[in-house]
């Protein structure tokens, strides 16, 4: 088990949520914008379907970012979408302590991300990308990989 | 109460549902397409949010039409959207007998559409457009107009 | 008509909205989490479909709570969902004066919740649970129960 | 392990899907309609958000039912919703063989539903209602109950 | 090219977002409410599908407004919807400089709205209503009108 | 311009739509399933948010496939999701004639897919992947690449 000191449980009140409503951008551009925003350091980016005026199905882009990346995010949003305005407001995030553990499976090791709330283990999540690589390489169902990770996790304890 | 002979309860098995997935059309065009499809005789047109490949928020257009208008609908879909394919399948519709009744309110008459299932009254719906006109003209809440229509409906019986 | 003094119209600026994005929790757990949050005193809890990275259909849980229940809500969210972070921000709620009235129907009394805005009656809503019980007991359509409540309401005035 | 002969893998081509678009029914009625449809034998009932004409957020009710319950379903839909028409079309369902297994946990037994595809075990799902009862009774997180069921499942094999 | 001095790029921190959850209002009223809110000066109004308690499909109305129109918006929301509470929180909007340009097409002139970010042109959007009028009048596809506007735009530069 | 004889306009009545409702699968698995289904030859795969019993936010997976790949699709769905049943029904697809054209931009050539309806050009779509590569390589906004493709397209005509 590896401990990361900077992964301690903490409350971050330097975050912002940014929002943009889009009714005149093709959906195919939006997958690309999501990638750019993550690469530029957004903590999360997601889309919600919305019903806009004049019977327009639209999309609300929401992103979470630390306050000091606000200008970088605006730059991407204005350059890559069709919006004429970006709105935002501050919010607070309570993040759990994170630890990373390695679990041995029949197909090799998998990282499991753990979350601690007030010192107690409450979350355990096998790393998706690693499980996916194993599933692809060994041509087995992804869920079978997850199942084995959980089983091995329990045996270690 | 006015009876429309062609509004009898019936089962129509000459209907089709048509579907188009769209991920590269701006939402603002879709309100317009909806209008054109209704004008051309579609029985209903509606949009559903869908999640498409490559993280694209998309829209599925669905429409209901009688089979003999299939070609007309295709023509609009191919000309006005960006799709390269339209899919469709037959379906059956069971429609209630419809009657139209007039109700007097303090602001004038309003039509109420009634639905009869096996001869029994099961649905009553004040006409939205008429209620809306009254609400606008008299600057009263729309829900107040509906409430009075329902009240008067009950007194007539 | 019964008046509840603590149900006066007021502006509450001690509220928070909390949000959690979920892409690795089975939907069937989420109905249960909603129940727990309401039991612990959340004012409202609801889900929104969201499109997350890597083509994942996800769910955003949103809840409204008074600020002093923030820790209790976090405890449930961290223990019952799979999230590693909970975000929140303050908001203000303007609530109408509420009164409760009893209406006699052919099947017994039903409570109607009323809302007053600056002293004027603007909302009237029959209590869903009571209407549902009547509908089930007497094997009549729920909408018929509502209709009779509205009718009786109007006759009392 | 208990085998149910009538739970064999099979292809059922006596099913129908029924659909109703609703834009004038309060959402609170729809939870009730869902219950009634399940009680009357619907195989599944679910709602999809749709965007309807005149900027109306609507709901499409979809249900799956065997063909011989079609009339019963129509009766509920016409009596309990506000629709003037119900549409439907036949579909085929391929269902897996189902078996039910008991697993002992620290808090008592839990049923696990298994699905077999061409004789091979592909699905295992702890029964939600049983896990929920344990979670409530012992005041432990629901996910902890699921985790223990999965762990015990693996040890039995 | 016409410059509007009051259309300069700016950051507006006098905005609020207002939200209302609705589970007992017919969808057909909501198109009307949207119109009223826009007429009263809302900067944007849109709906999101939400999943509420007791299996109710609901709708969250969201609107953006300047802070000094807060009371006007509340008045419409309380009078025209069925809500007993309205929530809101402040937010900041960064708006681009806007300019309006005229483009000549084969069917007459069309206005194009431009957005400038830090002095650079980043957005160009043909006015939907003008394009729609041309499409209707000349019975040509709407997308053909847009295409010609874009083509002419490029030739002017 | 290159013509593909097998890309002629045609009506295909050998297609099926398959559907699966999911309420107990983590969203993160679903991005992976989508990839597998496309790789196995699905014509399209997409997700719709649905509201299921017991307050569960769920997801409906829909896929379009030719009838002769039905068994392959079932195999993936049963192995990779948690479903105990897959439903499907036949449908017809009208596909446009497709042609592929090359357009020279300042950053190199881009393919444009064209759609012909009864011999007339109705659709033109720059290939997303090629535009994206250019945008990334030259660090320019994706929309700028699309704009130049459209401009060059028009000049060629």
Give residue-wise pLDDT tens across range E72-102.
999 999 999 999 999 999 999 999 999 999 9
| D70 CA: distance to closest CA in chain B (Å) | 11
F59-112 pLDDT, tens digit per residue, is 999 999 999 999 999 999 999 999 999 999 999 999 999 999 999 999 999 999
Tokens of E27: 């969808």
Q: Pick the more confident residue, B61 or F154.
A: B61
Contact list in E for residue C17 (CB cut-off 8 A) is: 87, 89
For residue D114, the model assigns a pLDDT of 96
C31-63 pLDDT, tens digit per residue, is 999 999 999 999 999 999 999 999 999 999 999
In this structure, of B64-78, D59-73, E22-36, E113-127, the range with the lowest mean pLDDT score is: E22-36
pLDDT at D3 over 50: no
For residue B2, the model assigns a pLDDT of 45
For residue D6, the model assigns a pLDDT of 60
Q: What is the tally of helices (H) and strands (E) in chain C? A: 4, 8
Please answer whether residues F52 and F1 qualify as being in contact, where contact means their C-beta atoms are separated by less than 8 angstroms.
Answer: no
Q: Name the maximum alpha-carbon separation found in chain C.
A: 58
Identify the bridge partners of residue A58 per DSSP, sorted by sequence position.
A50
In this structure, of B19-28, D8-17, E121-130, F80-89, the range with the lowest mean pLDDT score is: B19-28
For residue D118, count other CB atoms closer than 10 A to its CB. 11
Identify the bridge partners of residue A3 per DSSP, sorted by sequence position.
A99
CATH architecture observed for domain B12-94: 2-Layer Sandwich (3.30)
Q: What are phi and psi of E19, to 5 degrees?
A: -140, 140
Side-chain half-sphere of D123: how many Cα atoms within 13 Å? Answer: 30
In this structure, of A146-155, B29-38, B85-94, F94-103, the range with the lowest mean pLDDT score is: A146-155
E40-80 pLDDT, tens digit per residue, is 999 999 999 999 999 999 999 999 999 999 999 999 999 99
CATH of domain C97-156: 3.10.20.300
Per the rule left: phi > 0, alpha: psi between -120 and 50, beta: everything else, F97 is beta
Q: What is the tally of helices (H) and strands (E) in chain F? A: 4, 8
What three-state secondary structure class fits C28?
A: helix
Q: Where are the beta strands (DSSP E) in A78-150?
A: 85-95, 97-105, 108-117, 120-126
Please answer whether residues F66 and C61 qualify as being in contact, where contact means their C-beta atoms are separated by less than 8 angstroms.
Answer: no
Q: What are phi and psi of F9, to 5 degrees?
A: -60, 135
Percent of chain F with pLDDT over 70: 94
Please answer whether residues A20 and A102 qualify as being in contact, where contact means their C-beta atoms are separated by less than 8 angstroms.
Answer: no
Contact list in E for residue D57 (CB cut-off 8 A) is: 27, 30, 47, 49, 59
E98-156 pLDDT, tens digit per residue, is 999 999 999 999 999 999 999 999 999 999 999 999 999 999 999 999 989 988 887 75
For residue A87, the model assigns a pLDDT of 98
For residue C121, count other CB atoms closer than 10 A to its CB. 13
Angle at A72 between CA A70 and CA A77, to 5 degrees: 90
Distance in angstroms (rounded) separating the CA atoms of residues E147 and E134 = 13
pLDDT at F39 over 50: yes
Burial tier of B68 (Cβ tally within 10 Å: 0-12, 13-18, 19+): exposed
Contact partners for chain C, using 3 or more CB pairs closer than 8 A, are A, B, D, E, F
pLDDT at F2 over 50: no
Q: Pick the more confident residue, B149 or A6.
A: B149
Which of D80, D128, D143 is opposite residue C141, by nearest beta carbon?
D80
For residue E1, the model assigns a pLDDT of 41
For residue A24, the model assigns a pLDDT of 86
A62-92 pLDDT, tens digit per residue, is 999 999 999 999 999 999 999 999 999 999 9
Q: Pick the more confident residue, A28 or D40.
A: D40
Domain boundaries, chain D: 12-94, 97-156
Q: Under an 8 A CB cutoff, do A49 and B49 touch? A: yes
Average confidence (pLDDT) over B150-156: 78
For residue E156, the model assigns a pLDDT of 59
Q: Pick the more confident residue, E24 or D43.
A: D43
pTM: 0.94
| Mean pLDDT of the residues in chain F | 93
DSSP state of B53: T
Which residue from B minimizes the CA distance to F123? B82
Which of D53, D75, D85 is opposite residue B96, by nearest beta carbon?
D85
Which of F55, F57, F147 is opposite residue E53, by nearest beta carbon?
F55
Contact list in F for residue C45 (CB cut-off 8 A) is: none
Residue for token pair 């009547």: C134
For residue C19, the model assigns a pLDDT of 98
pLDDT-derived band of residue C154, with 50, 70 and 90 as boundaries?
A: confident
- Give the CA distances from residue C143 to residues A90, C136, C149, F14, F77, in Å, rounded to whole numbers and listed in that order: 44, 12, 10, 44, 40
Tokens of E36: 């009223």
Q: Under an 8 A CB cutoff, do A51 and D55 touch? A: yes
For residue C157, the model assigns a pLDDT of 55
Average confidence (pLDDT) over A23-32: 89
pLDDT at C4 over 60: no
A124-136 pLDDT, tens digit per residue, is 999 999 999 999 9
C70-95 pLDDT, tens digit per residue, is 999 999 999 999 999 999 999 999 99
B139-152 pLDDT, tens digit per residue, is 999 999 998 998 88
pLDDT at B38 over 70: yes
DSSP state of D107: T
Percent of chain C with pLDDT over 90: 86
D81-127 pLDDT, tens digit per residue, is 999 999 999 999 999 999 999 999 999 999 999 999 999 999 999 99
pLDDT at A2 over 70: no
**What angle, 0 to 180 degrees and rounded to 10, lies between the N-to-C axes of helices A142-155 and F27-39?**
140
Distance in angstroms (rounded) separating the CA atoms of residues E60 and C46 = 10
F9-25 pLDDT, tens digit per residue, is 999 999 999 999 998 88
């Amino acid at each position: 088990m590896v401990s990361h000191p900077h992964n301690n449980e903490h409350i971050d009140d330097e975050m912002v949520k940014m929002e943009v409503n889009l009714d005149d951008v093709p959906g195919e551009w939006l997958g690309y914008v999501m990638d750019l925003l993550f690469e530029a350091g957004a903590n999360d980016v997601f889309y919600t379907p919305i019903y806009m005026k004049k019977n327009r199905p639209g999309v609300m882009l929401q992103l979470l970012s630390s306050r000091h990346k606000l200008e970088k995010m605006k730059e991407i949003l204005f350059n890559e979408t069709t919006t004429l305005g970006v709105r935002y407001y501050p919010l607070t995030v309570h993040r759990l302590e994170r630890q990373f553990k390695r679990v041995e499976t029949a197909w090799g090791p998998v990282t499991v991300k753990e979350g601690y709330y007030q010192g107690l283990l409450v979350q355990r999540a096998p790393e998706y990308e690693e499980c996916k690589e194993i599933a692809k390489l060994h041509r087995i169902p992804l869920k079978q990989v997850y199942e084995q990770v959980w089983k091995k996790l329990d045996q270690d304890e």
